[in-house]
């Protein structure tokens, strides 16, 4: 709406500017992304429709901060429930048009804020470089659809696995309304950008603020155990594993409630400024079933994390509170199945060996303070429901911020339902809930984070009882730190058995196992020495 000449005049201060003569909307958009793909150094492309009036000079930085491939900034006609995206779509045959969802109005008026996956969006769209070519190809196939181009593009994007997100945490602008008077605009919103140079300055600064300082967490499928240890654990790099949902299929809401519903649970609340771990404190809340019901009800009222102190169920130990669930339904992924804590004989006291995994259930928009986990241990989380937004930062201790090499590694990403995240030991992190979330998590010590554990437990001042326990056992000169790269996923019984023997282990080692664990295992010997079909391991007993 401002005219291509004015926009190009401002843009030429920072980059080249090309005005398309293409009359067809789909082909013009395809040309836009094709040009972006051919432009060296173009990390993002901002696609703005002529009826959107941008109200944030930091729009590009804000949208880029989500580290999503395609993100739409919230814009709305003043005083109306008319936004530049849909939260739901009618998928009946021959339709696929707008449908008002149960939370549409709450999202439009921003009573619920966050990053939401939506079926349709337009107007103010930021696209990361990795999708330029794909979008150019998709648009080129939509020639002749006129004003319906973007709806069709969104449908095609969904079909090819390219999700579309909307950020309504900020108001990015307004949609021009030809029937509205100027006084109808919301006086509380930012003024419209009079000088587009401010916006383009923000575009130029994205590479400094986000490309060089913030990174998406790497994603993997079919990741071997050896590659995990060498590529990620050894380099202190977090990773999201996208193809492990099937392993956790039995750890669902129905089974959790069925097995653990009557067990007493606590709910975490914010306790900022009180010096508590992660600024949280716990309060008893009756049974787990009741706590989960109340948290879901609180979430459904539109709670956004700012008007209540309730965070949710936080770090509720399944091993201590409901081991039956783990025995029945939990399989331990190979990436942390060789937890060194489990190698300490079970007749020896070792606090955190008998705690994880834990259950988390969070209210939309809530989060704790940035923190590190205990004794330099690594951490994993699997998202059952909802999504979790993560900030992960390497330790800043000893970093010279004025040195050219003094850069901090900062990862910022959203872990979606069905994804498994593993982060190294000693990493600072902060997590925010997107929607009502349910997840499992735990800590472990193994190859790759053994050194961070050692550094933490031997540090001056870290002389708590559990640090002494870890130090006494895991740093013993005879402690076994060998990792088997061929080992797969384990049942809970196999994982908890601290002396599982492979077929090629000696009889002396087997006898040592029986001797050290006989008292704890005697009640669980249905078939002493029976070979398990699921692995190559011998299982003389089950805990």
| Most confident segment among 11-20, 461-470, 503-512 | 461-470
* Nearby residues of 143 by Cβ (< 8 Å), 6 or more positions away: 24, 26, 27
pLDDT score recorded for residue 202: 52
pLDDT(5) > 50? yes
Q: How far is CA 508 from CA 28, 343, 346, 512, in A?
A: 75, 17, 19, 6
**Cα distance between residue 160 and residue 138, in whole Å:** 10
Mean model confidence pLDDT for the chain: 79
**Cα distance between residue 208 and residue 214, in whole Å:** 9
Query: Is domain 215-496 in CATH 3.40.50.1970, yes or no?
Result: no
pLDDT in tens, 332-364: 999 999 999 999 988 888 878 889 999 999 888
Domain boundaries, the chain: 4-211, 215-496
**Pairing relationship of beta strands 70-73 and 420-423 according to DSSP bridges:** unpaired
**Pairing relationship of beta strands 410-415 and 214-215 according to DSSP bridges:** parallel
DSSP, res 216: P
Average pLDDT score over residue span 513-536: 38
pLDDT score recorded for residue 466: 65
Closest to 455 (Cα-Cα) out of 371, 395, 379: 395
Which two three-digit tokens encode residue 482?
Answer: 């060998």
What's the pLDDT band for 29 if we cut at 50, 70, 90?
Answer: very high
Residue showing tokens 């979606």: 416
Which of 196-200, 296-300, 452-456, 501-505 is predicted least confidently? Answer: 501-505
pLDDT(251) > 60? yes
Closest to 123 (Cα-Cα) out of 69, 184, 65, 167: 167
Q: Cβ distance 366 to 433 under 8 Å? A: yes
pLDDT score recorded for residue 404: 60
**Cα distance between residue 409 and residue 218, in whole Å:** 13
Q: Is 176 helix (H, G, I), strand (E, B) or coil?
A: coil
Burial class (CB in 10 A: 0-12, 13-18, 19+), 281: middle
pLDDT score recorded for residue 346: 82
pLDDT in tens, 94-108: 678 888 888 899 999
Average pLDDT score over residue span 291-302: 84
Question: Whole-prediction pTM value?
Answer: 0.57
Q: Can you list the positions of beta strands (E) in 119-245?
A: 120-121, 124-128, 165-167, 173-175, 214-215, 219-220, 239-241
Biggest CA–CA distance in the chain, Å, is 88
Average pLDDT score over residue span 70-78: 93
Residue 375 CB neighbours (<10 A)? 27
**Cα distance between residue 363 and residue 113, in whole Å:** 12
**Cα distance between residue 464 and residue 462, in whole Å:** 6
pLDDT(541) > 60? no
| Most confident segment among 18-32, 54-68, 413-427 | 413-427
Q: Cβ distance 366 to 311 under 8 Å? A: yes
Which two three-digit tokens encode residue 116?
Answer: 């939401």
pLDDT score recorded for residue 539: 33
Q: Cβ distance 222 to 243 under 8 Å? A: yes
Give the number of C-alpha atoms closer than 13 A to the C-alpha of residue 260, restricted to the C-beta side.
27
pLDDT(525) > 70? no
pLDDT(37) > 90? no
More reliable by pLDDT, 316 or 7:
316
pLDDT score recorded for residue 1: 36
Q: Do domains 4-211 and 215-496 have the same CATH topology?
A: no
**Cα distance between residue 21 and residue 382, in whole Å:** 49
DSSP, res 230: I
Give Cα 179 distance to the centre of its chain.
Answer: 42
Average pLDDT score over residue span 389-404: 75
What's the pLDDT band for 11 if we cut at 50, 70, 90?
Answer: low
Average pLDDT score over residue span 443-460: 86
**Cα distance between residue 70 and residue 154, in whole Å:** 11
**Cα distance between residue 168 and residue 434, in whole Å:** 12
Q: How many residues does the chain have?
A: 543
b/e string for 316-339 if b means 16 or more Cβ within 10 A?
bbbbebbbebbeebbbbbbbbbbb
First to last CA, the chain: 70
pLDDT(72) > 70? yes
pLDDT score recorded for residue 499: 63
What's the pLDDT band for 521 if we cut at 50, 70, 90?
Answer: very low
**Cα distance between residue 9 and residue 83, in whole Å:** 29
What's the pLDDT band for 310 if we cut at 50, 70, 90?
Answer: confident
Which of 14-18, 87-91, 241-245 is predicted least confidently? Answer: 14-18
pLDDT in tens, 147-205: 899 999 999 988 888 889 999 999 998 888 777 665 454 444 444 554 555 565 555 44
pLDDT score recorded for residue 540: 33
Determine if the peptide bond prior to 357 is cis (ω within 30°): yes
**Cα distance between residue 480 and residue 477, in whole Å:** 9
Which of 31-45, 56-70, 270-284 is predicted least confidently? Answer: 270-284
**CATH class of the domain comprising 4-211:** alpha beta
pLDDT in tens, 529-540: 333 333 333 333
pLDDT(241) > 50? yes
pLDDT(524) > 60? no
Q: How far is CA 448 from CA 196, 228, 426, in A?
A: 48, 10, 12
pLDDT score recorded for residue 119: 92
What's the pLDDT band for 280 if we cut at 50, 70, 90?
Answer: low
């Amino acid at each position: 709406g401002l005219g291509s000449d004015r926009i190009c005049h401002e843009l030429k201060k920072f980059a080249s500017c090309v005005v398309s003569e293409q009359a067809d909307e789909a082909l013009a958009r395809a040309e836009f992304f094709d040009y972006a793909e051919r432009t060296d150094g173009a990390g993002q492309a901002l696609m703005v429709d002529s009826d959107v009036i941008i109200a944030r000079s930091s729009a590009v930085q804000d949208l880029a901060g989500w580290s999503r491939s395609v993100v739409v900034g919230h814009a709305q006609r003043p005083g109306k429930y008319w936004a530049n995206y849909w939260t739901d779509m009618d998928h009946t045959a021959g339709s696929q048009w707008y449908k008002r969802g149960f939370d549409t109005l709450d999202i439009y008026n921003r009573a619920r804020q966050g990053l939401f996956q939506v079926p349709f969006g337009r107007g103010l769209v930021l696209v990361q470089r990795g999708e330029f070519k794909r979008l150019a190809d998709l648009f080129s196939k939509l020639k002749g659809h006129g004003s319906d181009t973007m709806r069709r593009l969104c449908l095609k994007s969904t079909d090819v696995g390219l999700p579309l997100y909307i950020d309504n945490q900020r108001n990015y602008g307004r949609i021009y309304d030809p029937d509205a008077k100027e006084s109808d605009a919301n006086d509380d919103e930012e003024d419209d950008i009079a000088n587009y140079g401010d916006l383009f300055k923000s575009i130029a600064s994205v590479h400094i603020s986000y490309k060089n300082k913030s990174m998406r967490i790497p994603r993997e499928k079919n990741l071997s155990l050896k590659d995990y240890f060498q590529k990620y654990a050894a380099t202190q790099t977090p990773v999201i594993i996208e193809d492990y949902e099937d392993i956790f299929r039995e750890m669902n809401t129905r089974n959790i409630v069925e097995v653990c519903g009557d067990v007493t649970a606590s709910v975490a609340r914010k306790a900022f400024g009180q010096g508590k771990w992660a600024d949280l404190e716990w309060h008893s809340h009756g049974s787990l079933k009741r706590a989960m019901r109340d948290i879901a009800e609180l979430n459904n009222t539109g709670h956004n994390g700012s008007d209540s102190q309730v965070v949710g169920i936080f770090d509720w130990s399944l091993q201590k509170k409901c081991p039956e669930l783990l025995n029945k339904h939990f399989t331990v992924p190979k990436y942390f199945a060789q937890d060194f804590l489990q190698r300490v004989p079970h007749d020896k006291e070792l606090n955190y060996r008998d705690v994880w995994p834990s259950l988390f259930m969070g209210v939309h928009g809530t989060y704790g303070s940035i923190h590190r986990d205990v004794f330099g241990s690594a951490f994993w989380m699997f998202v059952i429901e909802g999504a979790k937004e993560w900030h992960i930062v390497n330790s800043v201790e000893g970093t010279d911020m004025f040195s050219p090499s003094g850069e901090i590694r900062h990862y910022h990403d959203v872990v979606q339902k069905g994804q498994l995240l593993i982060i190294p030991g000693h990493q600072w992190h902060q997590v925010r809930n997107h929607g009502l979330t349910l997840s499992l998590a735990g800590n472990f010590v193994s190859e790759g984070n053994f050194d961070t554990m050692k550094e933490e437990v031997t540090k001056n001042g870290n002389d708590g009882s559990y640090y002494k326990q870890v130090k006494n056992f895991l740093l013993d000169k005879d402690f076994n730190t060998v990792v088997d790269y061929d080992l797969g996923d384990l049942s809970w019984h196999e994982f908890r058995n601290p002396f599982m023997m492979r077929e090629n282990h000696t009889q002396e080692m087997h006898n040592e196992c029986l001797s050290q664990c006989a008292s704890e295992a005697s009640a669980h010997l249905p078939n002493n020495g029976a070979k398990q079909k699921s692995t190559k391991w011998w299982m003389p007993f089950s805990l």
